[in-house]
Amino acid sequence: MRPPRRAAPLPLALGLSLLALLVARGADASVHEYGGGGGFAPRANSFFFHGGSEGLYASDPSSSSSASFIRFDTVVFRRTQESASRHEEMQQKTGLVEAIIVEIQDRDKIGGSYLHSDAICCTPELDKEKSCRVGEVIIRPNPDNPEWPKRIQTFFEGKNEETTMLPQLVSINKTGMYYLYFMFCDPQLKGLKITGRTVWRNPQGYLPGKMAPMMTFYGFMSLAYLALGLLWFIQFVRCWKDILQLHYHITAVIALGMCEMAFWYFEYANFNSTGTRPMGITLWAVTFTAVKKTVSRLLLLVVSMGYGVVLPTLGGITSRVAALGSIYFVASEALELVENLGNINDFSGKTRLFLVLPVAILDATFIIWIFSSLSRTLEKLQLRRSMAKLELYRKFTNSLAVSVLISIAWIGYELYFNATDPLSELWQRAWIIPAFWNVLSYALLAIICILWSPSRNPTGFAYSEDAGEGADEEGLSLVGSAMKGTGDMVNMHIFPEDKRA
């Protein structure tokens, strides 16, 4: 299989995007839907279905509107016709399904480990010891709170193929990571299906506990981008007649960042008030994120190539730059769709890995290309003895190198965090990981805004055709003048009297 070199990656990325749209089952999160008749998986001598897991804060006893709960809405269990036919019409309790809610720190209280047994369901031997009841999941009550872990039982009656769980609300009075499992012990119920939904709510709204701080974070980031945008706009207007093409690219990235943070804030605010993720706002937020990430990387790349400083245009490599950007956008969009349009715990590690790998490989491609381009640009500036431009690019290179080192260190921390917290026990700190990448992206953009601030006399860092190798183009440091922000920019023309013999 030998597809054309440039055309092959794009269909693959489009396929990933389509896969993301097909896999995502709707904009659900705190409302956990069990549509499509979910099946039960065997484990030890039991069968279970994972009904959801979220970090929940304890209810505020002083306010009835600040309740934290898990609510069961129209949960229906359907067994096979073969299973139902084994019983008589008037027979009672012909099958048992249990909903088990457990705070993760109490996970050792589920099953017979404390009875020195590997069983999850009670056996006749354990029943004889009065330790549990045959047909039920073994639960050792918490001595500090005897009602937990929580057990809710639902029985089939007679030969009925369906039974509906009674609607009920379970209050959460202790902060923690809660897991919900639907379980049964009777092998005759094999093939059981579940439909319905559960609603999970925190005291301040429907946002899951590990996501709640992100709403505040996006609000602050919106203000940060707004402040950066205002400072840039003031300088942009003051130097309107001397604006370079590069300044328009920087303006576009700032505008995209402002829109991205604003959309995410409103998406989270709506999610918090309704319990479901609004499809329209989420799609816009995801798309702005993918576009902004793509344009930001392209901006770093063209700046590293010396666009407008060493090169007047990108020339023949424009198509390659555009192709890399297009492929990155589609791959990034697919990943963002999968992470934000499905249930919080819908997707397995393999599914995520399948979509994360293309983005990681493309990010590595950008990094390699950026630093190789920076090396060539620094070499050209050194040969031309363009000292102010060289100093500018050295500062930019150092900033970029530091950001890459910090990123690598943070990726190491993220891998360690995920490896040591497989059950999300540290959910209250999980929001810091995605927040870090937004802060790093903002910091890099701010550095570029400072270094390439619009100037009334931009010839000091604009491309010049007659720049010779022995010419010292700048008598004053560009960086020092750029740092002045909205202040008067110094004249950066070539001053013959400043040349050295």
Phi-psi region at 38: left, alpha or beta (left = phi > 0; alpha = psi -120 to 50): beta
Instruction: Return all residues near 105 (Cβ < 8 A) that are at least 6 apart.
Output: 176, 425
CA 37 to chain centre: 28
Question: Is the sign of the CA dihedral 54, 55, 57, 63 positive or negative?
Answer: negative
308 vs 249, residue with greater confidence: 249
Cα separation, 298 vs 318, whole angstroms? 11
- Asked if the model's pLDDT at residue 442 lies above 90, the reply is yes
Tokens representing 153 are 């039982």
Contact of 103 with 172, CB cutoff 8 Å: no
Phi-psi region of 106 (alpha: psi -120 to 50; beta: other; left: phi over 0): alpha
Residue 45: pLDDT band (50, 70, 90) is confident
Percent of residues, the chain, with pLDDT higher than 90: 28
pTM, to two decimals:
0.76
Query: Mean of the pLDDT values across residues 155-182?
Result: 91
* pLDDT above 70 (res 32): yes
- For residue range 259-272, list pLDDT tens digits in order: 999 999 998 998 88
User: Which 8-state DSSP code applies to residue 109?
Assistant: G
Name the H helices within 69-186.
81-84, 124-128
174 has pLDDT over 70:
yes
Summarised one tens digit per residue, pLDDT across range 250-302 is 899 999 999 999 999 998 998 888 887 778 888 888 999 999 999 999 988 88
Residue 345 binned pLDDT confidence (cut-offs 50, 70, 90)? very low
Q: Which ranges of 118-238 would DSSP assign to H, the alpha helix?
A: 124-128, 212-238
String of DSSP letters for 247-275:
HHHHHHHHHHHHHHHHHHHHHHHHHHHHS
- Cα(196)–Cα(92) distance, integer angstroms: 24
Tell me the CA distances in angstroms from 454 to 42, 298, 380, 461, one per residue in order: 65, 20, 23, 10
- For residue 147, pLDDT over 60 is answered with yes
Strand stretches in 1-68, DSSP E: 31-33, 38-39, 41-43, 46-56
The C-alpha atoms of residue 362 and residue 349 are separated, in whole angstroms, by: 20
Rounded average pLDDT over 30-37: 77
pLDDT tier at 439, thresholds 50, 70, 90: very high
Question: For the chain, how far is it from start to end, CA to CA, in angstroms?
Answer: 63
Identify the residue with better confidence: 34 or 22. 34
Average pLDDT over residues 237-244: 80
Q: How far apart are CA 437 and CA 434, in angstroms?
A: 6
Residue 305: exposure state from Cβ atoms within 10 A (0-12, 13-18, ≥19): buried
Q: How large is the average pLDDT for residues 388-412? A: 89
In this structure, are residues 218 and 261 in contact, taking their beta carbons and an 8 Å threshold?
A: yes
Reported as a single tens digit per residue, the pLDDT across 103-116 is 988 888 888 776 66
Place of tokens 């270094």: 451
Tell me if 454 sits within 8 A of 235, measured CB to CB: yes
Buried-state track 63-102, b at ≥16 Cβ within 10 A, e below 16:
eeebbbbbbbeebebbbeeebbeebeeeeeebbbbbbbbb
Instruction: Pinpoint the alpha helices (H) of 86-194.
Output: 124-128
Instruction: Tokens for 7, please give them.
Output: 């055309």
Average pLDDT, stretch 212-240?
92
**Alpha-carbon distance 408 to 441, whole Å?**
14
Three-state SS across 427-490? HHHCCHHHHHHHHHHHHHHHHHHHHCCCCCCHHHCCCCCCCCCCCCCCCCCHHHHHCCCCCCCC
**Most distant CA pair in the chain: distance in Å?**
110
User: In the structure, what pLDDT confidence band is assigned to residue 390 with cuts at 50, 70 and 90?
Assistant: confident
